[in-house]
Amino acid sequence: MTGGGQMWGGRFAAALDPEFARFQHSLPHDHVLAFADLATNRAWSRALAAVGLLTATELGTLHAAIDELEARWRRDGVPAGDPAEDVHSLVERELVARCGDLGKRLHTGRSRNDQVATDLRLHLRQCVQDCLDGLHRLCAALVDQAERHAAAPMPGYTHLQRAQPITIGHHALAHAEALGRDRDRLLAALRRSAQCPLGSGALAGTALPIDREALAAELGFDGGPTRNSLDATSARDHLCELAFACAMAGTHVSRLAEDYVFFAAHETRFLSFGDAVATGSSLMPQKRNPDAMELVRGRAGRLQGALAALLATLKGLPLAYNRDLQTDKETLLPAMRETADCLAIAALAVQHATFDVDRCAAEAARGYQNATDLADLLVAAGVPFRDAHGLVGAAVNRAVELGVELHELPPAEVRRLLPQLQVDLQQALAVPAVLARRDAVGGTSPARVRQEVARWRRQLAAWTATATNGGDEDA
Q: Please give the full DSSP string across 286-330, using - where no structure is assigned.
A: T--B-HHHHHHHHHHHHHHHHHHHHHHHHHTPPSS--GGGGHHHH
List CB contacts of 19: < 8 A, sequence separation 6 or more.
none
C-beta neighbour count of 36 within 10 angstroms: 23
Query: Is 260 inside a domain boundary?
Result: yes
Query: Is 322 inside a domain boundary?
Result: yes
Query: Is 446 inside a domain boundary?
Result: no
Let me know whether 279 and 188 are in one domain: yes
7-29: average pLDDT:
80
One DSSP character per residue, 317-365 reads: PPSS--GGGGHHHHHHHHHHHHHHHHHHHHHHHHHTEEE-HHHHHHHHT
Query: Is 182 inside a domain boundary?
Result: yes
Q: What share of the chain is helix, strand, coil (3-state, %, to 5)?
A: 65, 5, 30
pLDDT digits 0-9 by tens, 403-460 = 999 999 999 999 999 999 999 999 999 999 999 999 999 999 999 999 999 999 999 9
Let me know whether 148 and 64 are in one domain: no
Among the listed residues 281, 352, 389, 407, the single catalytic one is 281
Its pTM surpasses 0.95:
no
What CATH number corresponds to the domain at position 29? 1.10.275.10
Let me know whether 280 and 230 are in one domain: yes
Inter-CA distances, 287 with 263, 269, 291, 415, Å = 15, 14, 11, 49
pLDDT band at 360 (very low <50, low <70, confident <90, very high): very high
Query: 256-282 burial by CB neighbour count: b if 16+ within 10 A, else e?
Result: bbebbbbbbeeeeebbebeeebbeeee
Query: Is 373 inside a domain boundary?
Result: yes
Structural domain span for residue 421: 366-429
Q: Backbone phi, then psi, for 268, in 5-degree steps?
A: -105, -55
Let me know whether 330 and 198 are in one domain: yes
Let me know whether 195 and 334 are in one domain: yes
Let me know whether 312 and 207 are in one domain: yes
Query: Is 174 inside a domain boundary?
Result: yes
Let me know whether 370 and 411 are in one domain: yes
Among the listed residues 29, 89, 123, 159, the single catalytic one is 159
Let me know whether 321 and 242 are in one domain: yes
Which domain-ending residue is among 83, 108, 133? 108
Let me know whether 172 and 54 are in one domain: no
Q: Indicate the number of domains in the chain.
A: 3
Query: Is 440 inside a domain boundary?
Result: no
**pLDDT above 90 for 364:** yes
445 is an active site residue: no
What CATH number corresponds to the domain at position 196? 1.20.200.10
| Helix/strand/coil for 474 | coil
Which domain-ending residue is among 46, 78, 108? 108
**pLDDT above 70 for 473:** no
Query: Is 473 inside a domain boundary?
Result: no
What local confidence, expressed as pLDDT, does residue 9 receive?
A: 65
Percent of the chain beyond pLDDT 70?
96
Let me know whether 325 and 390 are in one domain: no
pLDDT band at 1 (very low <50, low <70, confident <90, very high): very low
Let me know whether 237 and 370 are in one domain: no
282 is an active site residue: no
339-352: average pLDDT:
98
Which letter does DSSP use for residue 279 in this model?
B
pLDDT digits 0-9 by tens, 148-183 = 999 999 999 999 999 999 999 999 999 999 999 999
Which domain-ending residue is among 86, 108, 130? 108
Let me know whether 62 and 173 are in one domain: no
Beta strands in 135-270 (DSSP E): 153-158, 161-167
